[in-house]
Chains A and B, each alone.
Chain A
Amino acid sequence: MNAALIATDLDNRPEGSDGADQLGHFVTGELDLSHGVALYLEDITVSFDGFRALNSLNLTIDAGELRCIIGPNGAGKTTMMDVITGKTRPDAGKAFFGQTIDLTRLTEPEIAHAGIGRKFQKPTVFEQHTVFENLELAMKTDKRVWQSLMAWLSGDDRDRIADTLKLIRLDGEAGRPAGLLSHGQKQWLEIGMLLMQEPKLLLLDEPVAGMTDDETMRTAELLVSLAGKHSLVVVEHDMAFVEKLGGKVTVLHEGAVLAEGALASVQNDPRVIEVYLGR
């Protein structure tokens, strides 16, 4: 691995940070989006005790794309995110981030450092930590032990956290333990943590579950504004939300892609209708 030790994005570092700090972090290969592909899954299969949660799944996400994934319960949407983030190893298939980064060979922290951030289906924030601390922990920085021991928030860091707090409308709650937030607020906090990581690819698993309609629409606006600079994969059941996002839609069913295209065309696909109605 040593030979491939390359700092990810030397030019993208927040100002004032110490250059040498970041060198030599554990990333294999450099993120290469030059061919316009952010994520490439080929023939991914995952079995749990013989049951195929993913069955030769193929999926390509373009750089800067906002993709929605829909599909009935148990279709394999969360399992797909587990494969991308290193939580679950596929039994077969390829998973590449950009042209060069082989996701099946990296650990969870390495994948996170390579630039993939994830929001979980069940909101998982650090309940004992304050809202501010949750964002601080997520913030993009050198995350090795020694750096954490010596860590000291700079003015810029505080500004970034303050900006994110405003964006997720939790600036009044910065000092509260995250466990005391409402479900919708936890969802927002988790989105905020995702943003603090400054990932290139964002995976969001049912981000608006438990949000009010108003919060849902604001989330949609935020995600749309992120597309272009970031690639996003959003799993959601809420069709109004999916419509608002406006991107291409992929329908998963029994661990494979059933249909792909604009929302309207997918919704009129007889196979999709059957899957949703036939249950």
Chain B
Amino acid sequence: MRKPLIVRILSALDSRAWIALAAFLGVALVAVPVLHLAVPEDSALHVSTYAITLIGKIMCYALVAVAMDLIWGYGGILSLGHGLFFALGGYAFGMYLMRQIGRDGSYGADLPDFMVFLDWKALPWFWTGSEHFGWMVFLVLAVPAAVAFVFGYFAFRSRIKGVYFSIITQALTYAAMLFFFRNETGFGGNNGFTDFKRILGYGITTPEMRLVLFCLTALTLAATLVFAAWLVKSKFGRVLAAIRDAESRVMFIGYNPLWYKLTLWTISAVLCGVAGALYVPQVGIINPSEMSPGNSIEIAIWVAVGGRGTLIGPVIGAFVVNLAKSWFTVSFPEYWLFFLGLLFIVVTLLLPQGLVGLWKKLMKKEGVAA
């Protein structure tokens, strides 16, 4: 019996995973909003604006980590340029947010401030339509997809693999960063976009808007996890794992690895773009440093720490590393990079399966002992 697609997608998760997902959504969509809006600020149960912004931001990172795990953990392709796709999605939505400022900028002009500063008289052609929410949401998806598709097509067609591929992706994001740094490029140079005021006419810093963005991010993350679970459990996922393990064998049974890799790669880039678009209004700024090579390496570290090749691993990794980061950067800002490097070495040497692998090992031991 051929089950409908939606049933197959929903049955990709087992009951335990569904319970966990439901619990997560219950907290994110019900508990957090109630505790933020209805509980007075001096109460211990109050969820602060700071916490909402921080967790919202980390959920965006978790989304990127899941996207990274799809291509790295399941596809065996280590990208060190995923920060680029995140930034592209962020910039696309940031353009819309810049236009929503309207005449409330410091120059009171129709053009975004940085354009006035550059003495530009009109919007460059690629800003056409940037005032339309729908069009910019489309670009959030389409720009990372197009860049990933074109780059991936040539890289995979030339059968560039392993460390060479990783290095080229680093170069790609670095080149993009330099390009965006230039004022003449038309994306605000090294300051990027900031001072956002509204989305769809509603104030961007109101508690309600913050909660809307927070809940939207939580929903997107949950939906992505379900989608990714279906993807890796489909025959498509099995073919990709086979390509990862023995690519030439896959070709001789009639699959063309190019299109499989390219599809996964493009899906992964689009998910990063979505994460970037959710991130920018919550954090209130996007600038070229998001494309710095270090940022993309950090994404790989989240996945390695959590455990690649599992879907929950990257989410855990993104949360653990970023919560540690926000603590460090307050308490010992100068030591954060040392800690990050150390963490990476420890995980690579001692925990090849990441925290999820450690957990599984512990559970097994306990099972044996009992």
Q: Which residues of A contact B (CB under 8 A)?
A: 26, 85, 87, 107-109, 112-113, 117-118, 120, 124-129, 133, 136-138, 143-145, 148-152, 154, 193, 197
Contact = CB atoms under 8 A, between A and B. Distances in A.
Interface stretch (B61-69, B181-189, B244-252, B356-364): B244-252
9 contacts: A108-B248, A124-B249, A126-B249, A136-B235, A136-B238, A137-B238, A137-B255, A143-B256, A148-B260
B8 interface: yes
B20 to A, nearest CB: 25
Interface of B: 2-3, 5, 8, 231, 234-236, 238-239, 241-242, 245-246, 248-256, 259-260, 263
Top 8 closest A-B pairs, CB basis?
A112-B254, A108-B251, A151-B235, A148-B236, A109-B256, A149-B236, A148-B235, A126-B242
A126 B247 CA distance: 10
Most buried by A among B2, B8, B249, B253: B253
Given A136-B235, A145-B263, A108 B245 contact: no
A112 B251 contact: yes
Given A136-B235, A145-B263, A151-B234, A197 B245 contact: no
Contacts of A152: 2-3, 8
A150 B234 CA distance: 8
Contacts, number: 80
Nearest to B3: A152
Given A137-B239, A148-B239, A152-B3, A128 B254 contact: no
Contacts of B260: 145, 148
A136 B255 CA distance: 13
B345 to A, nearest CB: 27
B239 A197 contact: no
Nearest to A142: B254
B2 to A, nearest CB: 5
A107 B251 contact: yes
A133 B253 contact: no
B253 A137 contact: yes
Given A152-B2, A152-B3, 13 more contacts: A85-B252, A108-B248, A108-B252, A109-B252, A112-B251, A112-B252, A124-B246, A138-B253, A143-B254, A143-B255, A144-B259, A150-B5, A151-B236
Nearest to B253: A138
Contact of A126 (B234, B245, B256): B245
A125 B242 CA distance: 9
Contact of B236 (A109, A126, A136, A145): A145
B245 to A, nearest CB: 6
Contact of A113 (B245, B246, B254): B254
Contact of B254 (A87, A109, A125, A129): A109
Contact of B241 (A120, A124, A129, A136): A129
B2 A154 contact: yes
A144 B234 CA distance: 13
A152 B259 CA distance: 20
Given A112-B253, A154-B2, A129 B242 contact: yes
Contacts of B256: 26, 107, 109, 143-144
A4 to B, nearest CB: 17
Given A107-B251, A109-B254, A197-B254, A149 B234 contact: yes
